[in-house]
Structure 1
Amino acid sequence: MNLIDVLNSVDSFIWGPPLLVLLVGTGILFTFRLGFLQITKLPTALRLIFKAENSGNGDISSFSALCTALAATVGTGNIVGVATAIKVGGPGALFWMWLAAFFGMATKYAEGVLAIKYRTKDENGQTSGGPMYYIVNGLGQKYKPLAIFFAISGILVALLGIGTFTQVNSITDSINGSFGIDPRITGIILTLIVALVIFGGIQNISKVATAIVPFMSGIYIFMCLLIVFTSFNKIPATFTLIFDGAFNSTAAVGGFLGSSVAMAIRNGIARGVFSNESGLGSAPIAAAAAKTNWPAEQGLISMTGTFIDSLIICSLTGFSIILSGVWTGDLNGALMTQSAFESVLPNVGPLFLTLSLSLFAFTTILGWSYYGERCFEFLFGTKGIKGYRLVFVLMVLLGSFLKLEMVWIIADIVNGLMAIPNLIALILLMPVVVKETKLYMSHINSINKEVFEEYNDNAI
């Protein structure tokens, strides 16, 4: 057995049942403890995206913080990850992706609450927060090794995998396939653009994310809806495939080799978590920068990230793949999703998917550059931040010249390891999340009462 095989075995173990149970189990605990908040308070959360007060300490607006977090999550996982999950686990994998997202919304809420509750300022006056800070400031110094472990994992993921190589390869390969442009040329141009953005700090990153993410997400959703509506009569049968495949083995058909229920569960949950990152601890790093005085307010806004990423974008990708029938063919990954788009829009579809994948991957690079930077600052202070940014830019450049399978596997392993200290902190700090939730809900109720009384007084 060579080193690649060993790493693949470790990767399969890390992303196996123990971690998936811990991830989903944490979401279940918070769901019940918070009274199914992801249902009862979802309308409030969606309204806050655009109407949050934005009056507290922080570096960027709540909306910009959400866009920065979405920049790092909406990406190849929504296009490639969903296709892979369905190809291996069958249509039933989409149901388990929904389930992971539903409970993941409660986890993402808790992460957002704690990010604001325990954030701090660095030596440059910039806001710092995330799991490493709520571990130390919330649980105490004796838990600092967990915070250090998380920060090291975050830096490695940012520099070696999700933040650089995998995204750069996605961009250069897709553009080369559609337009025939040399990956090295694309990589150099991409590196220059990334450098221009990230050396401006979180303000620049959030501005770019706020401009690109809503626009591209909206266009992508629209394109997926076109595919869905052209096969409107197949929707009932598609739901039957999804729910039947979630609880029964899916038979082999065409290029699809068949799958068991266990394969549907594992691939649906794993790819769902990989896409929306609920419980991994990355999103609260961006959430901590939001201008708000209420931890629970940002928690609700953060929660919508999982809703948008998985329950909307991933679902529409899955519907497009299943409705078009391409999941029964021989294609996999981005080519499968591309085939679904091509079936409805023969000329425009593939080019649009290339543009979507490239822009989504680009914003993921920006989001992870910030995550890695905050982890670096926690470990080493602010003096070396410019050096970190330079190394990050060089890794982006290197990503267009190298295809290191081993590095990708290591990054996937470390990404999974990020979740462990974060989930421990979330569970131990659950009473704090509940307390902050009650405080904010009391605040909201008092405001609503004042508005109601004022309305009645004016009416009289």
Structure 2
Amino acid sequence: MLETLSSLLWGWHVLGLILAAGVHFSLSTAFFQVRCFFTWMRASLCGSRGKNGGVTQFQALTAALAGSIGTGNIVGVAAAITVGGPGALFWMWVSSLLGMMTVFAENLLAAKHRGAPGALGYIEKAGRFGKKLAALYAAGCFLSSLGMGNMAQTNAAAAAFSEFGVPVYVSAGLISVLMLFVARGGLRFAVKITEKLVPAMTLLFFAASLGVLWVFRDNLPGAFRQIFEGAFSLRAGAGGTAGMLLAMKTGVSRGVFTNEAGLGSAAFAYEEVQGKSPVELGCMGIFQVFVDTIVMCTVTGLCILCCRSPMLEGAQLTFFAYEGALGEWGGRAVSLCTALFALATPLAWCCYGREGLFYLTGGKGKNLFAAVYAAAAFLGCVLPLTAVFQIGDAFNGLMAIPNVLALFYFSGEVPRECARERTLMRKAIHSA
């Protein structure tokens, strides 16, 4: 039953719809994500940290990254390589390149249509069925925040903390208390944590990963060769074709899953940022996907491929890579990164789910949501979560389907807004 529901709401037809949106916005903007690389990098990294509104640009960016960076960046990459082979990493790059423009469009349209929080602002205005689509999206957002955004992540966090001798029930209690406070405080409280947590955990992850790649630097050329051969190799006839298609399916689905392109979730993080144009906020979405998938997933994948053990699968591959290069401290570093990544995601998704519930209830239920979210965090730590992933996929589909339909409804606004921004920039240059 759960598998059927998951396939119906999060099958290839939904992934294909998300990819089609990425292709459309890439073509309609003449591949803005490639052509204007320095533009979106500058808009993301050189913006003001001062408060022009309730949340700074930097805080919003860290919240969005917290929501998308999770266990998928460490454990999920290993699972993708196990199932689809090294070529899956290439197809993750392809899906993320297209996903950049999907998130760009989500942020841009959310900034233009600010009547409701985040993606709800443009979904509810998408034609005669907009209100119903928005209600469906809000329900999916609320339910996803409890499942994949919370329980699946806190389970991984508790397991990682246990490697340091912290009992599971102690982790469960502490994490649930933290989620209770964040759920009550909302985005402005969450960003005070993410602006410190996200840079710290990212630096720790890169320091450990660069150590691994330095130790196994002689294997790097072979790792890249495996990626491209696995992505395109047809040398084994029908078997090779099947292998290539499996690598493509695994890489694309994992890429969409890890960067959340098509879900519209990141738009919630930027709703309180003021003083930025819709295009500038869209650029921050491109940067988010770039860091999450192009950079972090690639680094993890290269570490695995440089010292891959044929006897191991899934998450064990990741731990083997870091321990093999850095010894016991490498294993501890990746365990800590896993715990921090898994802890960051429910901080952001708490705010997303809260907005989804408030949309359905007219702003009521803050205390109830906080209690439910904290309880879900506790249960996520102590319960086996085999079914949670299938439920989470289905809830993601409840978000993706109405969101992508709304994106296509407003698709003409995205290239027009880009052209308008270019015109304003040229006028500013000439007047200077």
Structure 1 counterpart of 2:47, one-letter code: A
User: What secondary structure is seen at the aligned counterpart in 2 of 1:164?
Assistant: helix
Task: Give the equivalent residue in structure 2 for 1:271.
Answer: 254
Specify which of 126, 132, 147 is matched with residue 145 of structure 1.
132
Where do residues 4-403 of structure 1 align in structure 2 (5 Å cutoff)? Answer: 6-52=1-47, 58-120=53-115, 128-137=116-125, 139-159=126-146, 161-176=147-162, 178-248=163-233, 260-326=243-309, 328-333=310-315, 335-403=316-384
Structure 2 counterpart of 1:331, one-letter code: E
Specify which of 393, 401, 411 is matched with residue 430 of structure 1.
411
Query: Could you list the per-position Cα deviations for residues 251-272 of structure 1 after superposition, in whole angstroms to 9, with x for gaps in the alignment?
Result: 8xxxxxx971121011101111
Query: Could you list the per-position Cα deviations for residues 211-255 of structure 1 after superposition, in whole angstroms to 9, with x for gaps in the alignment?
Result: 11122112212221221222222222211111110122698xxxx
Distance 1:55 1:145, change over 3 A: farther
Separation in structure 1 between the aligned mates of residue 369 and residue 331 of structure 2, nearest angstrom: 36
Separation in structure 2 between the aligned mates of residue 449 and residue 316 of structure 1, nearest angstrom: 42
Q: Contact 1:55–1:291 (CA<8 Å) still a contact in 2?
A: no
Structure 1 counterpart of 2:153, one-letter code: Q
Q: Contact 1:54–1:291 (CA<8 Å) still a contact in 2?
A: no
Distance 1:104 1:117, change over 3 A: same
Separation in structure 2 between the aligned mates of residue 389 and residue 446 of structure 1, nearest angstrom: 48
Separation in structure 1 between the aligned mates of residue 234 and residue 130 of structure 2, nearest angstrom: 44
For structure 1, the 5+ residue unaligned runs are 1-5, 121-127, 252-257, 452-460
User: What secondary structure is seen at the aligned counterpart in 2 of 1:181?
Assistant: coil
Give 1:145 shift.
1.1
Structure 2 counterpart of 1:51, one-letter code: C
* Bigger mean CA offset, 403-412 vs 215-224: 403-412
User: What secondary structure is seen at the aligned counterpart in 2 of 1:163?
Assistant: helix
Q: Contact 1:276–1:306 (CA<8 Å) still a contact in 2?
A: yes
Q: Contact 1:90–1:250 (CA<8 Å) still a contact in 2?
A: no
Q: Contact 1:131–1:425 (CA<8 Å) still a contact in 2?
A: no
Q: Contact 1:118–1:133 (CA<8 Å) still a contact in 2?
A: yes
Q: Contact 1:15–1:270 (CA<8 Å) still a contact in 2?
A: no
Structure 2 counterpart of 1:429, one-letter code: F
Separation in structure 1 between the aligned mates of residue 109 and residue 374 of structure 2, nearest angstrom: 30
Q: Contact 2:179–2:350 (CA<8 Å) still a contact in 1?
A: no
Query: Could you list the per-position Cα deviations for residues 127-174 of structure 1 after superposition, in whole angstroms to 9, with x for gaps in the alignment?
Result: x5222221113x245321111111101111112x11221111101112
Count of residues in correspondence between the two structures = 428
Q: Over the residues paired in the alignment, what is the CA RMSD in angstroms?
A: 2.1
For structure 2, the 5+ residue unaligned runs are none
Distance 1:325 1:259, change over 3 A: farther
Structure 2 counterpart of 1:385, one-letter code: K
Distance 1:60 1:224, change over 3 A: same
Task: Give the equivalent residue in structure 2 for 1:255.
Answer: none
Structure 1 counterpart of 2:204, one-letter code: I
Q: Contact 1:162–1:368 (CA<8 Å) still a contact in 2?
A: no
Give 1:62 shift.
1.9
Separation in structure 2 between the aligned mates of residue 188 and residue 42 of structure 1, nearest angstrom: 44
Give the share of equivalent positions with the same residue, in percent: 34
Separation in structure 2 between the aligned mates of residue 364 and residue 432 of structure 1, nearest angstrom: 31
TM-score (norm 2): 0.94
Separation in structure 1 between the aligned mates of residue 353 and residue 69 of structure 2, nearest angstrom: 18
* Bigger mean CA offset, 342-351 vs 384-393: 384-393
Structure 1 counterpart of 2:98, one-letter code: F
Distance 1:404 1:342, change over 3 A: closer
Give 1:175 shift.
1.8
Distance 1:180 1:54, change over 3 A: closer
Separation in structure 1 between the aligned mates of residue 151 and residue 235 of structure 2, nearest angstrom: 34
Q: Contact 2:179–2:370 (CA<8 Å) still a contact in 1?
A: no
